[in-house]
Amino acid sequence: MQNLLDEEGLRGIGAYWIIIEKLSMLPEPRTQLEYLRPFCKNRKIPFVYLKKIILKYKLFNLEEDDFFSVEELNPVKKKEQKMVKNSKENVDSNAKNDEKLQKTSRNNSENHANNDSNSLNNNDIAKADNESFKENIKDIITAATVEEKDATATTAINHSCPLNICDDYGQSQQMLHPVRPWQNMVDELTTRTPWLETACMQSCYGELLMRNIQKAVEIFKCHIELYDKGGDLLTMSEVRRYFVNYTKAGKPTSQALRETLIAFEAKQRATLPPNAYLHEQLINGKRTYLGCLIPNDAPARPSDTAFWNEQEHRWISQR
pLDDT tens, residue by residue, 197-252: 999 998 999 899 998 999 999 999 999 999 998 888 999 999 999 999 999 999 99
According to DSSP H, which parts of the chain are helical? 2-24, 37-43, 47-56, 75-111, 116-160, 182-187, 194-202, 206-211, 213-226, 236-247, 252-271
- pLDDT for the residue 159: 47
Section 286-314 average pLDDT: 89
Q: What DSSP state is assigned to residue 275?
A: -
**Average pLDDT of the residues of the chain:** 78
3-state DSSP call for residue 292? strand
Which three-class secondary structure state does DSSP give residue 31?
strand
Q: What average pLDDT does range 20-44 have in this prediction?
A: 81
Q: What is the DSSP letter of 27?
A: S
**Phi, psi (5° rounding) for residue 240?**
-65, -45
Q: Is the dihedral of CA 100, 106, 110, 116 positive or negative?
A: positive
pLDDT, residue 76, reads 58
Question: In terms of Cα–Cα distance, which of 243, 245, 240, 246 is closest to 173?
Answer: 240
Nearest of 121, 131, 133, 122 to residue 97 by alpha carbon: 133
Integer angstrom CA distances of residue 38 from 35, 60, 137, 170:
7, 20, 52, 17
First to last CA, the chain: 83
Q: pLDDT at position 6, please?
A: 92
State percent of the chain over pLDDT 90.
27
Return d(Cα 37, Cα 250) in angstroms, integer.
29
> Which residues are registered as beta bridge partners of 61?
69
Burial class (CB in 10 A: 0-12, 13-18, 19+), 247: buried
Q: Quote the CA–CA distance of 274 and 289 in Å, as a whole number.
A: 19
Residue type at position 266: A
What are the CA-CA distances from residue 95 to residues 100, 142, 161, 286 (Å)?
9, 18, 44, 108
The mean per-residue pLDDT over the stretch 183-196 comes to 92
β-pairing verdict for 164-166 and 286-289: unpaired
CA angle 35, 56, 216 (to 5 degrees): 95
Which residue(s) pair with 60 in the sheet? 70
In degrees and rounded to multiples of 5, residue 173 shows phi and psi of -150, 155
Which residues are CB-neighbours of 60 under 8 A, at least 6 positions away? 19, 54, 68, 69, 70, 71
pLDDT in tens, 250-291: 999 999 999 999 999 888 877 766 777 788 888 888 899 988
- How far is C-alpha 271 from the geometric centre of its chain's CA atoms? 43
pTM over 0.95: no
Residue 67, beta-bridge partner list: 32
Distance CA 276, CA 59 (A): 68
d(CA 82, CA 76): 10
